[in-house]
A and B are shown apart, each in its own frame.
Chain A
């Protein structure tokens, strides 16, 4: 299987879906000549022409609105937002329109749009450009939210998102575009709403998504050196949320730590932990721990930014705190 980058995997998904279905169109800021802020759409204009891919003004409200209109009009738009931080400007279109149309108009039309956006911090882009707002969107019924952590999932999830009849937000991570991984060539789909066990273990379940999946895997490597076998569950989709995979793992390990890059309060970890205790209470051997971002605006200074974002060390510490033994 070819080893390609996360960026190339996303590009492959777009290219394949544009070839497969001529209703698929791409637009966003600087996606044509510049190839998008992270180079994902590079070269698509040459092969598909300017009626399938177009630049927009620097106006996210327009991008969101255009995507909703295009989808309602019968196209399958894949809009790109330079970062999730600017999605706040597009959120009226996404939350008040995309998520509501099917429901409010008696199922007369769906809104099969995809909005790709870049989330996460760690690149010293300061407080307003380093946020992870996936929780806000995953909160909204009517939207689907996917957060690929690996190149294969990036391809498989984006392809499935484009084919899905509901609005899907594909939230990529700024630090993952250069990460390489094995990606199947050609037709390869990852179902929306299916988590994956990225690594098996018997002692504790680490629940993560997006880049934190890689952090969890690194933590699992370190824990193995100390004889602790951690199982890593990558949620992949935040809505719909695949609790079955999480619960099956927790029933096996009896312990869980959730890991998210964004702030702890009202976060994904809170939701997952709550669902675990609701649905697998009798399998728990310890309280569920949450590892999450520090509750501050993400600092610009490098050492402060790193202190604000979870890393493998913090995950290892949280796991050990759960496994601490007294006496014996």
Chain B
């Protein structure tokens, strides 16, 4: 049976993906569920599995190329099965320009131009890209047949954050000398993940009016409970503080649906599922894999899923299901001995919880100064969606779940 492999959609804002590597080559046998390729989205590298068994007959998109979500990237079929029309198809963003048989002189010029498959782009789009130092491979063409046209390059330039370093334009005789006051520096290209973070965080701060509410939580009881629970299970099953925070947040969100919401086109979108993202710091940047339906899952399952997911994130092997759209995010910098911090909301969510470290601090209990394990959390909230009092009550409730932690296992 002929089975087309398409660029999968991973996460609500994914529009395109890049083939990083073909694990299987044309002619290789593949089984259903086997990893055939690795793709890179704006967030992470993920594996693509075969949905059918047979022979990987045709690879439509070569390594390094970017195509829109839903585009056919490969075809799996029986070894001798006819694949109707497939030979003619090719990815629109990367259509090979038809060329007449080149004379030897033309071939020499062509070879110098651009190695690899040619990106379909209009002459003026190429000219602007050349002048602005833009790599056409990063741009999605919207012209006929997916050709990159002037408007696409202009839109790309507009979207590109101002701080993106530009490769120096081709020097001309009249090029002015570098400004004398400029500090010597190295200009680095942004990784896709960095570009995404830059775009999304700037957008968040620009559109969502943030306000912040901080609460100081007594962690004594919850740490005790964690110890007791972990005594019952093997290493793999152990529960982290973050897992307990996820569970507490999920329970709190159930009671405060307006926090589990988005501001969308002048309306409030109140979500019926509670999907909590956990910010994971990687060398390349931050990713936020999501645990779906945290309110309905027991703590042990949250712990299990979180552990596997974070591992996948660290090894760059996140799966499509790790990018279920989130409705709330927790960012924990406690392990870095940070007392407290504020986080930027992960759009389109309405709030994010920034968690500091658990430290023994003196507190006054019944008129006496005592040492206690305390943790500070700060909720950043989108003021378009909710007000300070709601955020305060949210934290109050969250604090109660942690200070009376049997709620978390009830």
Interface residues of A, Cβ cutoff 8 Å to B: 254, 281-286, 321-322, 324-328
Count residues of B near A (Cβ-Cβ below 8 Å): 19
Interface residues in B102-143 by Cβ distance below 8 A to A read 122-127, 140-143
Which candidate, B145-153, B165-173, B205-213, B311-319, is the interface stretch facing chain A?
Answer: B145-153
In the bound complex, CA of A328 to CA of B142 (Å): 5
Query: A254-B150, A326-B92, A327-B68 are known contacts. Are A282 and B144 too (CB-CB below 8 A)?
Result: no
Q: Are B142 and A285 in contact (CB under 8 A)?
A: no
Q: Which among B92, B127, B149 has the greatest number of chain A C-beta atoms within 10 A?
A: B149
Contacts of B143 in A (CB 8 A): 285-286, 324-326
Q: Smallest CB–CB gap between B241 and chain A, Å?
A: 45
By Cβ-Cβ distance, the 9 closest A-B pairs, closest first, are A282-B127, A285-B122, A328-B142, A285-B150, A284-B123, A285-B124, A325-B142, A285-B149, A254-B124
Q: Are B140 and A327 in contact (CB under 8 A)?
A: yes
Contacts of A281 in B (CB 8 A): 123
Contact partner of B144 (CB less than 8 A), chosen from A283, A284, A286, is: A286
In the bound complex, CA of A282 to CA of B147 (Å): 15
In the bound complex, CA of A284 to CA of B128 (Å): 11
In the bound complex, CA of A325 to CA of B144 (Å): 6
Q: Are B123 and A283 in contact (CB under 8 A)?
A: yes
Q: Are B142 and A282 in contact (CB under 8 A)?
A: no
Residue pairs across A and B with Cβ atoms less than 8 A apart, 22 shown, are: A254-B124, A254-B150, A281-B123, A282-B126, A283-B123, A283-B124, A285-B124, A285-B125, A285-B149, A285-B151, A286-B122, A286-B144, A286-B149, A322-B144, A324-B143, A324-B144, A325-B143, A326-B143, A327-B68, A327-B92, A327-B140, A327-B146
Q: Smallest CB–CB gap between B98 and chain A, Å?
A: 12
Q: Are B124 and A284 in contact (CB under 8 A)?
A: yes
* Interface SS, A side: loop
Q: How many interface contacts (CB-CB < 8 Å) are there between A and B?
A: 46
Q: Smallest CB–CB gap between B346 and chain A, Å?
A: 26
Among residues of B, the one whose C-beta sits closest to the C-beta of A286 is: B122
Contacts of B122 in A (CB 8 A): 254, 284-286
In the bound complex, CA of A321 to CA of B68 (Å): 22
Q: Are B123 and A326 in contact (CB under 8 A)?
A: no
Q: Are B146 and A282 in contact (CB under 8 A)?
A: no
In the bound complex, CA of A286 to CA of B152 (Å): 13
Among residues of A, the one whose C-beta sits closest to the C-beta of B140 is: A327
Contact partner of B142 (CB less than 8 A), chosen from A283, A286, A321, A327, is: A327
Contacts of B126 in A (CB 8 A): 282
In the bound complex, CA of A281 to CA of B150 (Å): 13
Q: Add 18 more A-B contacts to A282-B126, A325-B142, A325-B143 (CB < 8 A).
A: A254-B122, A282-B123, A282-B124, A283-B123, A283-B127, A284-B123, A284-B124, A285-B122, A285-B123, A285-B125, A286-B143, A286-B144, A326-B142, A326-B145, A326-B146, A327-B68, A327-B146, A328-B142
Interface 1/0 per residue, B239-254 and A, CB below 8 Å = 0000000000000000
In the bound complex, CA of A284 to CA of B140 (Å): 18
Q: Smallest CB–CB gap between B97 and chain A, Å?
A: 11
Contacts of A324 in B (CB 8 A): 143-144
Contacts of A326 in B (CB 8 A): 92, 141-146
Among residues of A, the one whose C-beta sits closest to the C-beta of B128 is: A282
In the bound complex, CA of A24 to CA of B375 (Å): 104
Contacts of A321 in B (CB 8 A): 144
Contacts of A325 in B (CB 8 A): 142-143
Contacts of A327 in B (CB 8 A): 68, 92, 140, 142, 146
Q: Smallest CB–CB gap between A326 and chain B, Å?
A: 6
Contacts of B149 in A (CB 8 A): 285-286
Q: Smallest CB–CB gap between B365 and chain A, Å?
A: 61
Q: Smallest CB–CB gap between B204 and chain A, Å?
A: 24
Contacts of A286 in B (CB 8 A): 122, 143-144, 147, 149
Q: Smallest CB–CB gap between B92 and chain A, Å?
A: 6
Contacts of B151 in A (CB 8 A): 285
Q: Smallest CB–CB gap between A256 and chain B, Å?
A: 12
Among residues of A, the one whose C-beta sits closest to the C-beta of B127 is: A282
Contacts of A285 in B (CB 8 A): 122-125, 143, 149-151
Contacts of B144 in A (CB 8 A): 286, 321-322, 324, 326
